[in-house]
Chain A
Amino acid sequence: MPEQASTFASRVDALYLYLCGLTIFFTLLIVSVLIFFVVKYRKRAPFEIPRPIAGSIKLETLWSVIPFLIAMSIFVWGANLYFTMYRMPKEPASAMEIFVVGKQWMWKVQHSTGQREINELHVPVGSKIKLTMTTEDVIHSFYVPAFRTKADVVPGRYTSIWFEATKPGRYHLFCAEYCGTNHSGMGGWVEVMTQTDFDNWLSGNANQMSPVAAGQQLFTTTLGCATCHNADGTGGRGPALTGLFGKTVQLEGGVTVTADEGYIRESILNPQAQVVAGFQPIMPTFKGQLSEEQILQLIAYIKSLSPGQTSGTQVTTPARSNNPQAGAATPEGQGAKSLDSQRSNPLNSTAPRPPQSGSSNNTAAPNSRGNQNRQ
C-alpha cells in the first residue's frame, strides 16, 4: 500500500481492499471448486459417458444476480468516490488555487501569491488545494500516487482537481499520460509542509508578482485590453468584465454560455467565436501572443473582478473554433517570450521540443521527418 497523504487516500484504499477481498474470495472459491471437480471426476476408464446435465435456470439466475448485485455495490462506491474527488468542494473561497501548466517534459506551477516552481509543488497540510491545469503541447496527466488522484491535462482546456494533504512529506509527482521521448522524466515532487513552514517558504520566495497582479499588468498596460474593456473592467466598446466570472452570458444568436475559465480563454484567443449580444465583433485575436501562463494570469485577474466566484465544473472546454488561421499560431508567441524574459522568469526556460504543426516546413512527408530524428 503506498503512503496515504491526502483525504482521498484512505477512502480509495478502502475500496481497493474491498475489491481485493472479493477477488481473493472468488478466485479461491472457483479455483478450489475447479480443483475438487477435476480430481474427483477424473477419467476412470476410456469412453466413459457421464450422465448429461442440461443446466439449471435456478443456478444461472443465482450466479447472474449475485455477481450483478456485488458489481452494483462496487459501482455505487466507486462513483461516489469519483464525485468526491473530481467535483470541486462546495465552499468556493476556501480552496487555495494554484495554476499548473504542463509542457514536454516539465510541470510549471504558479501560486496565487506569485511564486513559481518547476517540477515541484509546495502545499500546506490541511488546506484544500485547487489545481487549475492546462498544457502547452500534448496531453499530460498530473498524478500524485500518495494523494491517489490524477487527471489528464489537455491542451486547449482547463482541468481542475482538488485535494487536501494530510501528512507533511515529500511525495512523487508523475506524468501518467504518455507524452513523448522524455515522458518518464516528466515528474518531480510534491512537498507537503506544515502551515508555518509553508508560510516561511512563501515569504522566502515572495518577490514575484501574483498572477492577479501580473494579469492586471497585461490587461491594462501590455496588451491594452483596457482600451475597450476599461481599466477597472467596467466595459466600454467591449463588454464589462466586473462581476462577470461565473455568470451566464447572452451571446449573439440567442445562445447563452457560462463565463468560466474555458469561456474567457476562448474569448481571448478566438474572440469571434462567442460574441456577447449587443457588441460588435471587433476584438482582435491574441492567439500566438500569449503563453499559457499569461492566459491563466489574465483569467486570474478577470476572476478577481468577481469576488467569491469559482467555476463549478471539473473541465471547461472552449467552444470549437473553425478558424482556418488557427494553425499558424504557436502556444509560445514572440511577444510572450520577450515579456517573460524582462522579469527573468524561471518558467521561461525552454525545453527542447519538436517542431510545431504550424511551422511552414511541416508539410514534409513523415519519412523525411523520421530521418531527421533518427538516432
Chain B
Amino acid sequence: MDIEKRVSPDLPVEPVESRVNYLNAQYGIKSWLLTRDHKRIALLYLGSVSLFFMLGGIYAMMIRLELLTPQGDLVQSQTYNKLFTHHGVLMVFFFLIPSIPTVLGNFLVPLMIGAKDLAFPRINLLSWYIYTLGGIFTLWAMINGGVDTGWTFYTPFSTTFSNTYVIATGLGIFINGFSSILTGLNFIVTIHTMRAPGMTWFRLPLFIWAHYATSLIMILGTPVIAITILLVALERAAHIGIFDPALGGDPILFQHLFWFYSHPAVYIMILPAMGVVSELIANFSRKNIFGYSFVAFSSIAIAVFGFLVWGHHMFASGQSMYAGMIFSFLSFAVAIPSAIKVFNWTATLYQGSISYDTPMLYGLGFIGLFLIGGMTGLFLAALGLDVHVTDTYFVVAHFHYVMVGGTLMGYLGGLHYWWPKISGRMYPEGWGRFAVLVIFVGFNLTFLPQFVAGYLGMPRRYHAYAPEFQIYNVMSSAGASILGMGLLIPLVYLVWSMRYGRVASANPWHLPGLEWRTASPPPTENFYVTPVVTWEAYEFAPPEEMQVVGKLEPGDAGDNPIEVAP
C-alpha cells in the first residue's frame, strides 16, 4: 500500500529497520518514571491500579472467609472492621474511581481524537505521582494499624470515637483526590482543544463522551470530599465542633457532604465503563450505535443529575421527610438516562454482524449485570422500601452489581479490546472467553444470595451474624472464590501475552476508530501524520478504505490492516 508519507516536516524521521513504538523508543527505569507519554503513564497506572485491586481483593477474600460461619471466629471484631474498611477504601478510591479513566482513558483519549498526547503531559505524569503518593500514605496507615470506620467515615464515630488511623487514611484519600482532579482537567482541555481536523463533537467515539462527563464530575465533586476530609481531621485533631454534637456540631452534615461527592463518585466509576461498553457493542456488531446523540447526552445527563441525588443514602438517617421525597424523585429521574443506554445498546445489535470475541462477551455481561444492578437501585430509591433494606446486605449486593458487575466488567472488556493496541500482542482468545464465563458465574453466585440475605434483614458490616443467614453467606463465599480464580486467569495470560502472545496487526478487529488507524503499539507521537477525519463515528467501510494513517514499514505486521483474523 502506498500511503501518504511523512508530509509534515516537523515529524521525527524514524529509522526504517525496526519500527519504533512507544514501548521500545527508550529503555531504562528513568525513561518510564520521567515519561511524558500518555501511553506510558497509562501503563504506570495499569501497574499501580492492578496492585491496589489485588490488595483490595485479598481483603475481600478475608471478609468472605470470616463470614463462612455465623460466629466471629476467624478474626477479632476490630480486625474484621478494619478488613472491610480497607477493602472499601482501596477498591473505591484506588481502583474503581481511577481504573478506567487513568488506564484506558489515558491511553485512548489522545489516540481516539487524533492527538499526539494529552494537553498537559507533565500534569498527567504528576497525577500518577500524586496517586502513588496518596496510595503509599494510605497503605502506610493500614500497615501501621489501619482504620476501622468503614470507607464512609461516618461522624461522630470517625471524629471522636475511633482509635485508629483516621487522619492518616483520610490524608491518603485527600492526596489521591488531586490526581483525580488533574486527570479530569487534562481530559476536558484535551477533548476541547486537541481534536484532529474533521473530528467534530458528534464524530467523537462515545468512550470520549463518557470520559468528558466523568471528568466534569471529577473536577466538580472531588474538592468537596477533600474539604470534608479536612473538616474531619480538624475536628479529630483540634476538637473544632463541626460534626460531633458533643462539640456543637451536626453529624448529619457530614453525611450530606460525604455523599455529595460519593454518590457522583459512583458515576465516576460507571460512566467510563458505559463508554467502554458503547465501544464494544458498536464495534463488535460492526454497526453505528443506535441513537448516538441519546447515548452521548445521557452521559452528560447522568453527570449533571448525579449531583442532585446524594440524599437517597440518608432516607433513614433523620433528614427531613420532604427532602427524602425530593431525593427519591430525582433518583428515579436519573435512572432514565441509564435505561436509555441499555435500550440503545440492545437496539444497536439489531441487524449487526456480531462476533463473540472476549471483549464483546464482557460487554454483553456488563449489560446483564448492570440491568440487575440498576433495577435493584429502584428498590433503594423507593422511600418506604429503602427504610427496610438500607444498611443491609441488599445494599451491599446492589452496589457490587453496579461497581463490580459494571465497572470491573467494563474495565476488563476494555483492557482485552485494546490489549493489541496497548501491548502489540494478542491475548489468548480461548482463555479469555473461559475467564469471562468463570467471572460471570462467580460474580452472580457471590452477590445474588446477598440480595436475599439483605431482604431477610442481615445488616451490613456484621462480624458475626444470626445463624439463619449462614446458607446465603456460604454461597456467597463459594462464589467469591470462583470469582477470585476467574480474575487470576486474565492476570496470568495478559502478562504472559506481553511476551509470548501472537503479534497483533495495527487493526486486528478491522474497525474504523482512529486508534486502529495507527500501528500496534503506536509510536510515541501516536500518528506519523496528523489524521484528517472524514468519516462519522462507527462508520464501517471496506477494509481497504479504513487505512492506517501514516507510514508503516513494509513487512511489518502493523502494515497490513486487511489481514483476516484466524
Chain A residues near B (Cβ < 8 Å) = 1-2, 8, 11-12, 15-16, 19, 22-23, 26-27, 30-31, 33-34, 37-38, 41-44, 46-56, 59-60, 63-64, 67-68, 71-72, 74-75, 77-87, 104, 137-139, 141, 143, 145-146, 148-152, 154-157, 159, 172, 174-185, 314-315, 320-323, 326-327, 329-331, 353-358, 362-363, 365-367, 369-375
- Chain A residues in 8 Å Cβ range of B346: 30, 33-34, 37
Residue B286 CB within 8 A of the other chain:
yes
* Nearest-CB residue, chain B, relative to A42: B354
A residues less than 8 Å from B230 (CB atoms): none
Given A23-B372, A143-B391, A326-B247: A375 and B79 interface contact (C-beta under 8 Å): yes
Which of chain A's residues has its CB closest to B565's CB? A46
Does A145 contact B251, Cβ atoms closer than 8 Å? no
Chain A residues near B464: list those with CB within 8 A: 184-185
Does the CB pair B81–A183 fall under 8 Å? yes
Contact of B168 among A143, A357, A367 (CB under 8 A): A367
User: Residue of A at shortest CB range from B368?
Assistant: A31
B-side contacts of A53, CB under 8 Å: 287-288, 290, 347, 350-351
B463 contacts A81, C-beta separation under 8 Å: no
Q: How far is the CA of A292 from the CA of B299 in the complex (A)?
A: 49
CB distance from B171 to the nearest CB of A (A): 10
Q: Is the CB of A327 within 8 A of B241?
A: yes
Partner of A81, one of B252, B368, B384, B466: B384
Q: In the complex, what distance in Å separates the CA atom of A39 from the CA atom of B320?
A: 51
A104 to B78 Cα, complex, angstroms: 14
B381-408 Cβ-contact flags toward A at 8 Å (1 or 0): 1111111101110000000000000000
In the assembled complex, 7 residue pairs joining A and B whose CB atoms fall closer than 8 Å, in A order, are A12-B385, A49-B541, A50-B351, A68-B333, A156-B250, A176-B459, A357-B156
**Is the beta-carbon distance between A16 and B248 smaller than 8 angstroms?**
no
A50 to B540, alpha carbons, bound, how many Å? 8
Asked if B266 is at the interface (CB within 8 A of a chain A CB), the reply is no
B285 at the interface (CB under 8 A from A): yes
Question: By the criterion CB–CB under 8 Å, are A357 and B244 in contact?
Answer: yes
Q: Identify the closest chain B residue to A15 (Cβ).
A: B385
Nearest to B456 among chain A residues (CB) is A2
Closest partner residue, chain A, to B163 (CB atom): A373
Q: Of the candidates B156, B239, B286, which one forms a contact with A49 in the assembled complex, judged by CB atoms under 8 Å apart?
A: B286
Quick one: which of B165-202 are within 8 Å of A by CB?
A: 165-168
**Nearest 3 pairs of A and B residues by beta carbon:** A81-B384, A145-B457, A156-B245
Q: A141: which B residues are within 8 A, CB to CB?
A: 316, 391
* Stretch binding the partner chain, chosen from B99-107, B130-138, B321-329, B470-478: B321-329
Whether A180 touches B161, Cβ cut-off 8 Å, given contacts A50-B286, A59-B347, A151-B318, is yes
Stretch from B335-343, B426-434, B479-487, B492-500 contacting the other chain: B335-343
Contact string against A for B residues 433-475, beta-carbon threshold 8 Å, 1 for contact and 0 otherwise: 0000000000000000000000111011111111000000000
**Contact status A150-B391, CB under 8 Å:** yes
Residues of A near B541 (CB, < 8 A) are 49
Cβ A64 vs Cβ B336 within 8 A: yes
In Å, the complex CA distance between A178 and B461 comes to 7
Q: List residues of chain B with CB under 8 Å of any chain A CB.
A: 72, 76-79, 81, 144-146, 148-150, 152, 154, 156-157, 159-168, 236-237, 239, 241, 244-248, 250-252, 285-288, 290-294, 315-318, 320-321, 324-325, 328-329, 332-333, 335-336, 339-340, 342-344, 346-347, 349-356, 364, 367-368, 371-372, 375-376, 378-379, 381-388, 390-392, 455-457, 459-466, 510, 539-543, 564-565
B236 to chain A, nearest CB (A): 7
Task: Determine whether the beta carbon of B340 is less than 8 Å from that of A64.
Answer: yes
CB atoms of A370 and B165 under 8 A apart: yes
In the complex, what's the smallest C-beta–C-beta distance from A111 to chain B, in angstroms? 24
Task: Given A46-B564, A52-B287, answer yes or no on A183-B462 (Cβ-Cβ < 8 Å).
Answer: yes
Residues in B neighbouring A322, C-beta threshold 8 A: 241, 248
Q: Which of A177, A314, A323, A366 has the most CB of B within 10 A?
A: A366
Q: Is the CB of A372 within 8 A of B163?
A: yes
Please tell me if the beta carbons of B382 and A48 are within 8 angstroms of each other in the complex.
Answer: no
List chain B residues, Cβ under 8 A from A320. 248, 250
Residues of B within 8 A of A75 (CB): 328-329, 332, 381-382
B230 CB, min distance to chain A CBs, angstroms: 15
Specify which chain B residues have a CB less than 8 angstroms from the CB of A27 in the assembled complex.
368, 371-372, 375
Chain A contacts of B466 at CB under 8 A?
172
Decide: B163 and A326 in contact? CB cutoff 8 A.
Answer: no
In the assembled complex, which residues on chain B have CB atoms less than 8 Å from the CB atom of A372? 163
Q: Which residue of B lies closest to A59 (CB)?
A: B347
Given A55-B292, A321-B248, do A181 and B81 touch, yes or no (CB 8 Å)? yes
The interface residues of chain B lying within 8 Å CB-to-CB of A375 are 76, 78-79
Known contacts A370-B145, A371-B145; can you find 6 more A-B pairs with CB under 8 A?
Answer: A50-B287, A63-B343, A177-B391, A178-B150, A322-B248, A366-B164
**B316 CB contact (under 8 Å) in A152, A367, A371:** A152
Report chain A residues within 8 Å CB of B392: 176
The listed residue with most B CB atoms (<10 A of its CB), out of A22, A47, A151, A353, is: A47
A354 to B138, CA, bound (A): 24
Q: Which residues on B sit within 8 Å (CB–CB) of A48? A: 286, 353
A35 to chain B, nearest CB (A): 9
Cross-chain contact A11 with B384 (CB below 8 angstroms)? yes
| A30 with B342: CB separation less than 8 A | yes
Q: Is the CB of A82 within 8 A of B324?
A: yes
* Interface pair A38/B349, CB less than 8 Å apart: yes
- Residue of A72, A154, A321 with highest tally of chain B CB at under 10 A: A154
Task: Determine the chain B residues whose CB is within 8 A of the CB of A67 once the complex forms.
Answer: 335-336, 339
Instruction: Check if B371 sits within 8 Å of A31, measured CB to CB.
Output: yes
Instruction: Give A73 to B168 CA distance when docked, in angstroms.
Output: 46
Q: Contacting B543 at CB < 8 Å: which of A47, A72, A329?
A: A47
State in angstroms the CA–CA spacing of A59 and B290 once bound together: 10
Which of B248, B293, B350 has most chain A Cβ within 10 Å? B248
Residue of B nearest to A78 (CB): B382
CA distance A83 to B387 in the complex (A): 11
B465 to chain A, nearest CB (A): 7
Distance in angstroms between the alpha carbons of A366 and B385 in the assembled complex? 39
**A314-B324 Cα distance, complex, nearest whole Å:** 13
Q: Which residues from chain B contact A63 at a C-beta distance below 8 Å?
A: 339-340, 343
B557–chain A nearest beta-carbon distance, Å: 18
Q: By the criterion CB–CB under 8 Å, are A71 and B378 in contact?
A: yes
Point out the residue from A26, A357, A365 that lies within 8 Å of B159, measured CB to CB. Answer: A357
CA distance A267 to B19 in the complex (A): 80
Taking CB atoms, residues of chain B closer than 8 Å to A56 are: 290-291
Interface-centre pick from B164, B384, B387, B464 (highest chain A CB count, 10 A): B384
Inter-chain CA distance A322–B248, complex, in Å, is 6
Bound-state Cα–Cα, A356 to B157, Å: 11
